[in-house]
């Protein structure tokens, strides 16, 4: 857990807490989330029962632009893009179709896209934003927390915004006392919700 | 003649000689796997002849090992089939007992999760009761285990080995009603068991299962079965040719005191009942043929000597 500045699992059962620390570590590692979490505090009380996870995220990486995944080679009357990473190919094509029209976009093979009769310069094409990875991050994070928390805890409250997140889950209806724990646990990390 | 469960592992070349030998010695082959150039035979053989099989198998690069779990069907009971419990640890444990010769089935509960909301329905209960032993895989919190176990053990008649996160002595203290075996420090985890410490935990589970099954074997020996399930398997294989067309890996699953026959109950129950074993004695005379809760299979429960007054 070196990438995380603060990581604590607090539990009323000592051994259970140690196991959940391992589970949280495995899940975050599997979902590749360790690099985006700055601080995290998990609190579990199986007697109540309640599971609280609060945390702070790192500054999320910037937008993905055409220049990040392709080499743009201007030629006479056309522009050839050599794709190096297919991950964002589909959203990129969609943006090209909307912007230039399907007649001007051709994909002869997996790693090549050719734009015909485009007025924009190579630099301008490279700067087109094609995806925002931070949008998927919230979904991934909540999914990871769902995997971490005990499965029977199906009444959940999830909150995310301004690089901070909170997740409360229980078997029973969530009470005000349970929700108040969010503030308390943020305070452990020296943060406010 | 005392039959002991063993596994023979060797090359495909001339393995039919080993099969003939086992059959000539009066043993029974429970399962045979051909994996590329290797053959694995799980069988029951007379105790005194194990040395002979080992000696004859040696020039064929054959290896004979004791497999106490051969001829048993084990239910690995997982609290759910969600990512929380699968594939680790449920699959790891189910796979490990399979390696040692047992036939393991995974029973994923519909509502096994949680503390207050956990429950066991009649189908799950009946399916578990069709096995020789049930291995319950629970979570990490003693509060939850203590709270839900009375519900999850309601109506379970087979021996139970319980695995959970807390230490073994804690499990022994909190679980009510008491079960037959406990393995501590094996709760929910989200990674593959590959560290030596984790593998030794799997060995501990096997040791506990073996201990509980040996106890059960001793109990069975006090009132022996009218016929050995392995022999019954041979009889059915010879006299009910439809079983040869079943594509399941184990069309006949041997249990400690019975047999699961993977043929439809409605069509084949009477055929089985009337199948003759020896001297006019039919399977129906010495065993109960019942519909299984697993698909439309048949479960054959062999009656003990005290009920039938015969041993064949």
Q: pLDDT by residue (tens digit) across A133-183?
A: 777 888 889 999 999 999 999 999 999 887 899 999 999 999 999 999 999
Distance CA A182, CA A165 (A): 10
Number of H-type helices and E-type strands within chain B = 11, 15
Question: A21, A42, A46: best mutation site toward chain B, by most B Cβ within 10 Å?
Answer: A46
Instruction: Calculate how close chain A gets to B111, using CA atoms only, in Å.
Output: 9
- B51 vs B188: CA distance, rounded Å: 42
Whether residues B21 and B115 share a domain: the answer is no
Closest by CA position to A142, among listed A161, A121, A120: A161
Angle of the B15-24 helix axis to the B50-57 helix axis, nearest 10: 160
Q: Do B143 and A13 touch (CB under 8 A)?
A: yes
Chain A positions in Cβ-Cβ contact with residue B139 (cut-off 8 Å): 150
Mean pLDDT over all residues of chain A?
Answer: 90
Same structural domain for residues B80 and B195?
Answer: yes
The whole-number pLDDT of residue A61 equals 66
Last residue of a domain, which of B51, B66, B81?
A: B66
CATH of the domain at B12: 3.30.70.260
Model pLDDT, residue A190: 87
pLDDT in tens, B42-95: 999 999 999 999 999 999 999 999 998 999 999 999 999 999 988 889 999 999
Cα of B280 to nearest chain A Cα, Å: 56
- Residue ranges of chain A with pLDDT lower than 50? 1
Residue spans per domain, chain A: 6-60+133-188, 64-131
User: Best mutation site among B141, B152, B184 for testing chain A: the one with the most A CBs within 10 Å?
Assistant: B141
**Structural domain boundaries, residue B294:** 229-308
Alpha-carbon gap: B138 to the closest alpha carbon of chain A (Å): 11
CA-based nearest residue to B229, from B73, B54, B77: B73
Q: Work out the angle between the directed axes of helices A133-148 and A14-30 (0-180°, nearest 10).
A: 150
**B209 with B84, same domain?**
yes
Q: Which of B24, B50, B66 is the last residue of a domain?
A: B66
DSSP secondary-structure letter at B275?
Answer: -
Residues B167 and B258 in one domain: no
On whether any CB of chain B is under 8 Å from the CB of A151, the answer is: yes
DSSP-based helix, strand, coil % in chain B, nearest 5: 40, 25, 35
Q: Do B213 and B137 share a structural domain?
A: yes
CB spacing of B142 vs A152 below 8 angstroms: no
Residue B288 has what pLDDT?
A: 96
Q: Cβ of B143 and A147 within 8 Å?
A: no
Q: Are residues B60 and B98 in the same domain?
A: no
Residue B175 DSSP one-character state:
-
Give percent of chain A above pLDDT 70. Answer: 98
Burial B217-236, CB ≥16 within 10 A → b, else e:
eeeeeeeebbbbbbbbbebb
**Topology of domain A6-60+133-188, CATH:** Heat Shock Protein 90 (3.30.565)
Of B80, B166, B187, the CB nearest to A151: B80
B280 and B149 belong to one structural domain: no
Indicate if B124 and B242 belong to the same structural domain.
no
Which are the contacts of A139, defined by CB distance < 8 A and separation ≥ 6? none
Tell me, yes or no, whether B52 and B143 share the same domain.
Answer: no
State the pLDDT at residue A1. Answer: 45
Query: Which residues of A fall within a CB distance of 8 Å from B167?
Result: 15
Q: Are residues B143 and B277 in the same domain?
A: no
Q: Find the distance separating the first CA and the last CA of chain A, reported in whole Å.
A: 23
CATH, domain range A64-131 = 3.30.1360
pTM to 2 decimal places: 0.86
Those residues with Cβ within 8 angstroms of residue A102's Cβ, 6 or more apart along the chain or in another chain: none
DSSP B206-235: HHHHHHHHHHHHHHHHHS-BSS-HHHHHHH
Q: Which sign does the torsion angle of CA B72, B77, B81, B86 carry?
A: negative
Contact residues on chain B for A147, CB-CB shorter than 8 A: 83-84, 190
Both B86 and B201 in a single domain?
Answer: yes
Interface A:B, Cβ pairs < 8 A: 70
pLDDT under 50: residue ranges of chain B: none
CB contact, 8 Å: B115 with chain A?
Answer: yes
Residue A135 pLDDT: 75
Q: How many domains is chain B partitioned into structurally?
A: 3
Q: A-chain residues within 8 Å CB-CB of B117?
A: 152, 171
- B193 and B233 in a single domain? The answer is no
Closest residue on chain B to A170 (Cα) = B114
Q: Can the peptide bond before residue B234 be classed as cis, meaning omega within 30 degrees of 0?
A: no
């Amino acid at each position: 857990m070196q990438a995380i500045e603060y990581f604590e699992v607090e539990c009323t059962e000592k051994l259970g807490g140690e196991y959940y620390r391992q589970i949280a570590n495995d899940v975050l590692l599997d979902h590749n989330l360790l690099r985006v979490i700055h601080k995290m505090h998990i609190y579990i009380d199986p007697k109540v029962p309640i599971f609280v996870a609060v945390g702070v995220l790192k500054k999320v990486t910037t937008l993905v632009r055409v220049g990040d995944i392709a080499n743009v080679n201007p030629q006479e009357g056309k522009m050839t893009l050599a794709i190096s990473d297919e991950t964002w190919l589909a959203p990129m094509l969609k943006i090209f179709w909307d912007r230039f029209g399907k007649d001007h976009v051709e994909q002869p093979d997996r790693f090549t896209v050719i734009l015909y009769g485009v007025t924009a310069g190579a630099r301008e094409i490279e700067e087109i934003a094609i995806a925002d990875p931070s949008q998927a991050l919230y979904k991934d994070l909540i999914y990871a927390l769902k995997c971490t928390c005990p499965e029977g805890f199906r009444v959940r409250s999830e909150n995310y915004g301004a690089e901070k997140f909170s997740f409360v889950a229980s078997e029973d209806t969530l009470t005000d006392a349970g929700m108040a724990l969010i503030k308390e646990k943020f305070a452990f990390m020296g943060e406010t919700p | 003649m005392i039959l002991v469960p063993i596994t023979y592992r060797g090359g495909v070349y001339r393995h039919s000689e080993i099969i003939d030998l086992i059959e000539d010695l009066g043993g029974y082959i429970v399962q045979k796997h051909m994996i590329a150039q290797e053959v694995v035979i799980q069988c029951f053989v007379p105790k005194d002849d194990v040395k002979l099989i080992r000696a004859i198998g040696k020039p064929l690069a054959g290896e004979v090992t004791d497999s106490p779990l051969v001829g048993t069907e084990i239910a690995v009971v997982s609290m759910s089939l969600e990512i929380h419990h699968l594939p680790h640890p449920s699959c790891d444990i189910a796979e490990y007992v399979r390696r040692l010769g047992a036939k393991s089935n995974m029973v994923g509960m519909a509502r096994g999760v949680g503390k207050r909301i956990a429950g066991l329905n009649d189908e799950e209960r009946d399916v578990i009761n069709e096995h020789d032993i049930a291995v319950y895989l629970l979570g990490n919190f003693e509060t939850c285990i203590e709270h839900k176990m009375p519900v999850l053990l309601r109506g379970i008649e087979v021996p139970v080995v319980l695995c959970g996160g807390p230490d073994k002595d804690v499990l022994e203290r909190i679980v009510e009603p008491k079960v037959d075996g406990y393995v501590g420090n094996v709760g929910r985890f989200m990674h593959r068991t590959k560290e030596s410490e984790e593998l030794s935990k799997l060995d501990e589970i096997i040791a506990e299962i073996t201990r509980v099954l040996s106890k059960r074997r001793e109990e069975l020996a006090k009132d022996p079965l009218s016929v050995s399930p392995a022999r019954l398997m041979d009889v059915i294989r010879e006299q009910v040719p439809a079983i040869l067309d079943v594509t399941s890996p184990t069309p006949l699953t041997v249990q400690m005191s019975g047999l699961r026959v993977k043929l439809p109950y409605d069509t084949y129950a009477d055929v089985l009942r009337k199948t003759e074993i020896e001297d006019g004695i039919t399977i129906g005379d010495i065993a109960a043929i019942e519909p299984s809760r697993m698909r439309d299979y048949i479960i054959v429960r062999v009656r003990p000597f005290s009920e039938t007054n015969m041993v064949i």
